[in-house]
Structure 1
């Protein structure tokens, strides 16, 4: 019997509790079903190309292996991808949605393949570094030789054996240029003494990880020559010489024909040898957004192949018998491919050049077959081929910047508004070229937008006026400098190249003037101390979504790109930076001036301190920090942050001082920084960054507003190059106890 005052609602009637409970799951299932149907229609649409996303998943697997710290996490990632593939298979059998099922299975398999390829690559090529710095006497064979006349040295890669263990290792030695002679060639055996050290981890959080690069190059140690070199056996003579010796001869010939920096850049275009370019010119090209012109990659390979293709096509067309019987585009494509491969080998066959050659050859194949030469599928195939053989390239700036630029160009020129803007029409010649110039500038702007986050992530600085400089720089190099260099080399066979070399040198002087003028303008360079991995991942994901999909759905890629831009804008710069050995540190005062411990301009540590501090002012000694109190051994600084004062005590040298005086000074300080192990009696009020601390944590960044410390060890995992680096890794973003207020 129902209670009085309680209305009776029949089971199943509208408004009944049981009816609501029945309808809610039904509505959820209906919503999920409609969403799945929309996704199925979207993925099955013929205007959407899903194939490039397989390369994205493959690259994501490689990147995930680098980002995940240990084997257990790699196995978890593999298991998750396998489960996702199983879900896709089950979805096909249960729901009958082939597009979704195929996408789940294909993406999962590609992701697993990516992890597997880079894992296998690391195990095969990775070399355990030497245990500690050592002075060693070595007998070895020269494997590679790289000339660097701008730094007065030659770099030799030597195959030798580790002292004590007898393990076969590969080391890289810097040799002063005065010790260089014709006997130091690939294949020669020699005896020398060298100071060796294991490849170094990042000097500061966010800095370049040479230990990782050396791992994949197989270097067990790097060092410098100590004494003289004794050549035991000369390099075996080969008729015509090796490609490396031909590259060096070509570079020397070009530098002998064109003087100064222009000659060094001409040698870089002709042979890929950048060792003679002065540092000031390198920096100017970088800050002007033109440094990509110095690296033999897509622009140079494409120019060589295009010139060979069109020249062969026009010359073969002069032979009527051949033109009537053979497809001339196929013959021209063969000639162009041969020229591209020869140029790639002559310039050293570096990964960026090989990558560009693969892409260019694919374009030639499409032209020969009458297919669309520039498509996302072509880019995806080229990227997959490169990553299959050099999977570690995915985390390098060269790979990322090259493919980002190509994706931006293709996505822009395949868009409806741009195709409408460029379509042929009846117009004056001036209007036609004005549209072309405008399109060149728009393309430069889009490329700069695409590349800037990648440049900031890797180099912490980017030229903001690169689009303007490239409008002149790219056509100048492509249509003037490189053809003149090629023509001059051809005329040199008859000794007639002098006038053409003069023209080539003047064109490169103009390029350098553009670089120096652009980089010298106010606000030409943007410094960003550190971009997090999540921030760059958001940007790359949004950019890929914008580039690879078609229609209005691609605009959803703007959302993660906007989030990453906001995250970058609010990323704080470290207040104090300490290098991994404590030999240098940097602090920015209230006026944005960077103060450093060592005054070595252009040194590796100072360059990193400038970039990671976000200060574009030339650094000055810490002794002139406002109100600093310094003795011969220590400096005491007062740093104002977050409405409080921090007292910082910095050791200037390694001289021993009275322990009681040191303990008293530490007691009055919040932070103590020294490159030596300080006694336990030195107890500052918050943090002691001394030799003991740095041996555990590596280079350190201190954020006073958040009262947080980040060290290189925070990002260390159990990859091969990390196992041999800093010990005692800490948790990232650890929070230290708050510093007490000063009396």
Structure 2
């Protein structure tokens, strides 16, 4: 036996190596593998005993939803139902076998997600306009929203030009210059140029046509004229009447707030109460995005939590003050019930967008848990909320709002669980340690949760918006207490006091808080390197990053570190994305061409400003579309544009037949909104209106041999939300070209950024 502190002799080491389970260089391989397997199975058993496998059921359901939307054509709902029924039956039969039951349940949850998407698609299916039509729409106004260049209205269609009922969209959306007294519930006639809802502005980009489909919108209008009021021809149903009155109330509340609070402060205050963001200036939007605070103006989990939480606390405090009431009644449950009802009203007042619906489901489950004497904020309740949202609105899974908010909440709850396991008596010590210790723990929690949420949402912000706000952490640390103290509580006060005419002071305080928040946003946006631009990376990279985040957050044993593998794979995939050399919008009016300096040059941006901005963002370029350097080597006139390709050949964008005749003889690529003659295809690579009607937006990558790899936004997809598009036989659009700030008149603008960038920090 060797003495303590002395190394064993060589013979002793050899003897030790010769013992069972040892080898010359350490553990025997088989013994090591057996030990690893034992620890692995023990960790799995620990996770099972803690009920962590249940948390992966909504993750599996999300996988089913993603598979449904990735299909090349519409799956049959009956096939999806049969698959779910079989897997659910197997899960029922395997419930007594603990080794098999979790796997079968995950498969059944996967099938449930697929089925929910199939049924939802079948339920909302409605005709989609097949080709552009100029004419009048008659119908009932369902919603009214002020916009910077007019007022956007949604109309439930009775007639559209001379279209038969089988081809007539159920709803249309159009921006008109004036309302002429029209409001929700009125029957009107609107003349405009109607088109099918636009698809993605780039391949693998956000699909606006899919969004419109699930909103029941089958056509969008531009060049809309003021609506003409018509006499009602039938009494609307109860749901329609309630919806119309709520929309009228929303607009009255918006008008009231704007009459009290001027400028962007009033516009943001209205957005936080009614969900109408159209009056917010682009300057304020840009500052909030650069500071990482844009999520604050999109009604989501943050607002539902502050609104419902403050109402819960106020009601509970008020009931406790009533002599003897708190001793005889469960005031906590009463307060939770009133908070759920208040959150329901806030959901309706805010327009009940998808992000708000999902957030309401989460806050309702939390308050229901309180009413049934359960812990409110747990990973299990988060999983239940996610499952409910997936089954009710499966299309939301594809958007950044769902992804960012649930991942942020998941990371925050995971951090609280870790902190509770590490210091289970911390909360009790905070109560005994005095006010200073309480403040330390409170603000420390704010810092920790902000860091957790920022880290969890950054991959999705980079994937969807190709931009990360580098200073979002200090921005949120400073701004969120202001929102929680001066903004949302006084929004509640304002709504309560408005019927009594005593709301002015509440809106002024709310506006003051928003002014402070805007000042913070502008200050942080002025910091060096406020935003980091990243090229668009593939969806597979985002899936790997999400899988790693889920494993690290949901598991509690050392198995969580298995999530580092997919996370690292996602970083590798995101680090080397493919960047096309040419982008072409679906209208054939605008394009972007990579120059010899490696940057994109824009052509036709005055017709498609939103598409141009999207292309630059996807290329990791922070320049705005109106930047002069973005078109420095592009030559345009009234008939079209030309630009040099990296190999010296010419790219041509033709807007007229006169330009098309010349471009076909000299350009390597010819893009036109017209129908190109067959002879043009003999000398150039042609993409004309007929091609774009089939493919949608197009991206081309220049190969070393001079050929072009073409990627289409629609590709071979035959999904119902793309409708049946007729191939044009002449100019793709009626009338001359009209300068706009978006791809389709006023209809796209920055809607994707406005409604989806909701990160629930």
Give the alignment's TM-score, normalised by structure 2: 0.81
Alpha-carbon shift at residue 541 of structure 1 (Å): 1.6
Residues 488, 500 of structure 1: 8 Å contact kept: yes
CA 1:608 to 1:418, structure 2 compared with 1: closer, same or farther past 3 Å? farther
Distance in 2, matches of 1:575 and 1:593, equals: 9
CA 1:522 to 1:593, structure 2 compared with 1: closer, same or farther past 3 Å? farther
Which residue of 2 is the match for residue 129 of structure 1?
128
Distance in 2, matches of 1:727 and 1:540, equals: 40
**1:573-597, CA deviations, whole angstroms, 9 ceiling, x for partnerless residues?**
2222111222111134455654211
Higher mean displacement: 150-159 or 425-434 = 425-434
Correspondence for 2:524 among 518, 535, 541? 518
Distance in 1, matches of 2:714 and 2:288, equals: 34
Residues 43, 99 of structure 1: 8 Å contact kept: no
**1:49-70, CA deviations, whole angstroms, 9 ceiling, x for partnerless residues?**
2212122222221121001223
Matches for 1:282-681 after TM superposition, within 5 Å: 282-416=285-419, 419-420=422-423, 423=427, 424=429, 433-490=439-496, 497-591=503-597, 593-600=599-606, 603-619=609-625, 620=627, 625-626=632-633, 637-640=643-646, 645-651=647-653, 653-657=655-659, 659=661, 662=663, 664-666=665-667, 669=668, 671-681=669-679
Which residue of 1 is the match for residue 6 of structure 2?
none
Helix, strand or coil at the partner of 1:169? coil
CA 1:207 to 1:521, structure 2 compared with 1: closer, same or farther past 3 Å? farther
Distance in 2, matches of 1:509 and 1:193, equals: 40
Which residue of 2 is the match for residue 731 of structure 1?
none
CA 1:680 to 1:89, structure 2 compared with 1: closer, same or farther past 3 Å? same
**1:108-154, CA deviations, whole angstroms, 9 ceiling, x for partnerless residues?**
22222221221121112112312111112232222x12222433223
Distance in 2, matches of 1:181 and 1:657, equals: 42
Residues 203, 605 of structure 1: 8 Å contact kept: yes
Matches for 1:176-325 after TM superposition, within 5 Å: 176-178=176-178, 180-182=179-181, 184-224=182-222, 226-233=224-231, 242-325=245-328
Distance in 1, matches of 2:352 and 2:414, equals: 28
Residues 198, 209 of structure 2: 8 Å contact kept: yes
Distance in 2, matches of 1:596 and 1:38, equals: 57
CA 1:54 to 1:581, structure 2 compared with 1: closer, same or farther past 3 Å? same
Alpha-carbon shift at residue 294 of structure 1 (Å): 1.0
Helix, strand or coil at the partner of 2:359? helix
CA 1:194 to 1:330, structure 2 compared with 1: closer, same or farther past 3 Å? same
Helix, strand or coil at the partner of 1:433? helix
Residues 641, 654 of structure 2: 8 Å contact kept: yes
Alpha-carbon shift at residue 258 of structure 1 (Å): 0.6
Helix, strand or coil at the partner of 2:649? strand
Aligned residue pairs, count: 685
Distance in 2, matches of 1:595 and 1:417, equals: 54
Higher mean displacement: 65-74 or 328-337 = 65-74
Which residue of 1 is the match for residue 21 of structure 2?
none
Matches for 1:111-130 after TM superposition, within 5 Å: 111-130=110-129
Distance in 2, matches of 1:623 and 1:282, equals: 22
CA 1:705 to 1:558, structure 2 compared with 1: closer, same or farther past 3 Å? farther
Alpha-carbon shift at residue 405 of structure 1 (Å): 1.3
Residues 153, 175 of structure 2: 8 Å contact kept: yes
Which residue of 1 is the match for residue 143 of structure 2?
145
Distance in 1, matches of 2:34 and 2:76, equals: 34
The CA RMSD measured in Å over matched residues stands at 3.7
CA 1:649 to 1:524, structure 2 compared with 1: closer, same or farther past 3 Å? same
CA 1:76 to 1:347, structure 2 compared with 1: closer, same or farther past 3 Å? closer
Residues 192, 222 of structure 2: 8 Å contact kept: yes
Distance in 1, matches of 2:65 and 2:132, equals: 32
Residues 594, 618 of structure 1: 8 Å contact kept: no
**1:455-513, CA deviations, whole angstroms, 9 ceiling, x for partnerless residues?**
23223333222222111222111111122333345555665554544332222112112
Residues 58, 114 of structure 1: 8 Å contact kept: yes
Higher mean displacement: 245-254 or 38-47 = 38-47
Alpha-carbon shift at residue 188 of structure 1 (Å): 1.9
Distance in 2, matches of 1:636 and 1:453, equals: 37
Residues 298, 402 of structure 1: 8 Å contact kept: yes
Distance in 2, matches of 1:288 and 1:200, equals: 30
Residues 640, 656 of structure 2: 8 Å contact kept: no
Helix, strand or coil at the partner of 1:222? strand
Helix, strand or coil at the partner of 1:58? helix
CA 1:320 to 1:457, structure 2 compared with 1: closer, same or farther past 3 Å? same
Residues 589, 608 of structure 2: 8 Å contact kept: no
CA 1:715 to 1:726, structure 2 compared with 1: closer, same or farther past 3 Å? farther
Distance in 2, matches of 1:621 and 1:690, equals: 27
Which residue of 1 is the match for residue 155 of structure 2?
157
Distance in 1, matches of 2:498 and 2:218, equals: 43
Residues 717, 723 of structure 1: 8 Å contact kept: no
Which residue of 2 is the match for residue 24 of structure 1?
none
Helix, strand or coil at the partner of 1:192? strand
Alpha-carbon shift at residue 430 of structure 1 (Å): 5.2
Which residue of 2 is the match for residue 52 of structure 1?
55
CA 1:725 to 1:387, structure 2 compared with 1: closer, same or farther past 3 Å? farther
CA 1:520 to 1:676, structure 2 compared with 1: closer, same or farther past 3 Å? farther
Helix, strand or coil at the partner of 1:157? strand
CA 1:99 to 1:307, structure 2 compared with 1: closer, same or farther past 3 Å? same
Higher mean displacement: 285-294 or 491-500 = 491-500
Helix, strand or coil at the partner of 1:160? strand
Which residue of 2 is the match for residue 62 of structure 1?
65
Alpha-carbon shift at residue 296 of structure 1 (Å): 1.6
Residues 201, 210 of structure 1: 8 Å contact kept: yes
Higher mean displacement: 716-725 or 108-117 = 716-725
Residues 639, 648 of structure 1: 8 Å contact kept: yes
Residues 690, 727 of structure 2: 8 Å contact kept: no
CA 1:489 to 1:357, structure 2 compared with 1: closer, same or farther past 3 Å? closer
CA 1:521 to 1:689, structure 2 compared with 1: closer, same or farther past 3 Å? farther
Residues 632, 652 of structure 1: 8 Å contact kept: no
Distance in 1, matches of 2:324 and 2:434, equals: 39
CA 1:132 to 1:585, structure 2 compared with 1: closer, same or farther past 3 Å? same
Distance in 2, matches of 1:117 and 1:71, equals: 13
Residues 585, 609 of structure 1: 8 Å contact kept: no
Distance in 1, matches of 2:435 and 2:598, equals: 51
CA 1:506 to 1:590, structure 2 compared with 1: closer, same or farther past 3 Å? farther
Which residue of 1 is the match for residue 712 of structure 2?
712
CA 1:717 to 1:549, structure 2 compared with 1: closer, same or farther past 3 Å? same
Q: Which runs of 5+ in 2 are unaligned?
A: 1-29, 729-761
Which residue of 2 is the match for residue 171 of structure 1?
171
Aligned: 1:721 with 2:727 = no
Higher mean displacement: 486-495 or 580-589 = 486-495
